[in-house]
Amino acid sequence: MNDLEPATGTTDLAGTGAAWGERYSHALMNTFGAPRRVLVRGEGPYVWDADGERYLDLLGGIAVNALGHAHPTLTAAISAQLGTLGHVSNFFATPVQIALAERLLDLAGATRRPGSRVFFTSSGTEANEAAFKMARRTGRPRILALEGAFHGRTMGALALTHKPAYREPFEPLPGGVEFLAFGDTRALEQAMADDVAALFLEVVQGEAGVRMLPPGYLARARELADEHGVLLVLDEVQTGVGRTGAWFAHQHPDLGGGVLPDVMTVAKGLGGGFPIGAVIAYGERSATLLGTGQHGTTFGGNPVAAAAALATLGVIERDGLLDHVRELGSRLSTALAGAGPLVREVRSAGLLVAVELVAPVAAVVSERALSAGFIVNPVTPTALRLAPPLVLTWDQVSGFVDFLAGLPADPAELEPGEGS
């Protein structure tokens, strides 16, 4: 057969959403529940389902699709790399992998600490798993994390994740993790000691409903970490790569003020939709905690993933998206805060936004939004999370503000199931 001919046995991808949903229920594990829609294509901030309906994707694959869908620069970079060299084992290196590591060290400010290095993964939970192992390598028994934290679902990352519903089915988890009250500086001061290996923090807790660390907390954490020789690990899986209007949230003057961590984990938006994550170790001490043969991953640093990440970073810089995110995020949060009596408050960091409602009706509002052509996430019973593509425009998103303002003022009028 000619290499350019279609492969035999290909599957017909035509069908209605209902038909695909039925096939899904028989073919895939029920780890995510029934899919809300079956999506077939995307362009910019929009996606289309199997029945031809269009939706404004205000979740962006949960902060993944930084450049939206089918961005021409990203797709060209992936295609070109795949047509050149698709995958090699980690017995070898590639120029694109090395170039991406150098770029990340520069953007992260890690070049200010001699000896900084990068370890590539395929996801955020993998990155946090590696950071967990780095903490173990210090030889110290205690690891600190915060109430409300979400760091992933593999066993080490899950041990750092606070929500009991995620943890309890898999206990016993790796031990030694203690959870501190969120944003409580006194609790942090009391817990810090010379037997603590690492403190894991999210500058903004996305899964908990877009909660920012209070002013001064991160700076105090840095002081205490230095005093006791503790690794300060910042999980920027969701907040990194321009999401907050800075390359990384801890660099934002209103969030972290430029405090440097010892370890940072990134993923999600880094590949613009192509799976890739990274651990950035600041300084020689952090970068040498994992020695040869002590950790690994098959696809980490894959040349196609690295090419996708370089392209994503390049477009963000070329198109001035950091400034755009700050400006649009401010305008959007102000508009949402005034979008009717159903909205209690809006918490936002760039284009990571939570709309807190006056009653636990987020799931119902999310279903109504979907029926109206908007994808949002009911991240808590009372809050909707938005993490749209960074290329979103005001003209595109203003319709969602109008939708929210048009909902009934009385939460009791939002009957469960209506609009689903």
User: Are 159 and 194 within one domain?
Assistant: yes
pLDDT tens, 161-201?
Answer: 999 999 999 999 999 999 999 999 999 999 999 999 999 99
Residues 312 and 347 in one domain: no
Does residue 254 share a domain with residue 190? yes
21 within a domain of the structure (yes/no)? yes
Q: Is the pLDDT of residue 10 over 70?
A: no
Question: What is the helix (H) or strand (E) element at residue 231, kind and residue range?
Answer: strand 231-235
Domain of 391? 17-70+320-413
pLDDT tens-digit readout, 22-53: 999 999 999 999 999 999 999 999 999 999 99
- The CA-atom distances, in angstroms, between 215 and each of 42, 203, 250 are 39, 11, 12
Please determine, for residue 8, whether its predicted confidence score (pLDDT) is greater than 60.
Answer: no
Q: Both 241 and 345 in a single domain?
A: no
Do 214 and 280 belong to one domain? yes
Asked, for residue 379, whether it belongs to a domain, the answer is: yes
Between CA 222 and CA 261 the distance in angstroms is 8
- Which tens digit of pLDDT belongs to each residue from 89-146? 999 999 999 999 999 999 999 999 999 999 999 999 999 999 999 999 999 999 999 9
Q: Of the residues 318, 351, 377, which one is the last residue of a structural domain?
A: 318
The CATH number assigned to the domain holding 85 equals 3.40.640.10
> pLDDT at position 315, please?
98
Domain-located, residue 305: yes
Cis peptide before 164 (omega within 30 of 0): no
Looking at the DSSP assignment, which residues form a beta bridge with residue 117? 281
Same domain, 206 and 218: yes
Q: Do 120 and 146 fall within a single domain?
A: yes
Q: How far apart are CA 392 and CA 390, in angstroms?
A: 5
Residue 308 sits in the same domain as residue 336: no
Q: Using CA atoms, how far apart are residues 123 and 134, in angstroms rounded to an integer?
A: 17
Give the domain CATH number at 326.
3.90.1150.10
Query: HSE-up of 35 (CA within 13 Å, CB side)?
Result: 18
Whether this prediction's pTM lies above 0.85 is answered by: yes
Distance CA(262)–CA(239), nearest Å, equals 17
Count of the separate structural domains present in the chain: 2
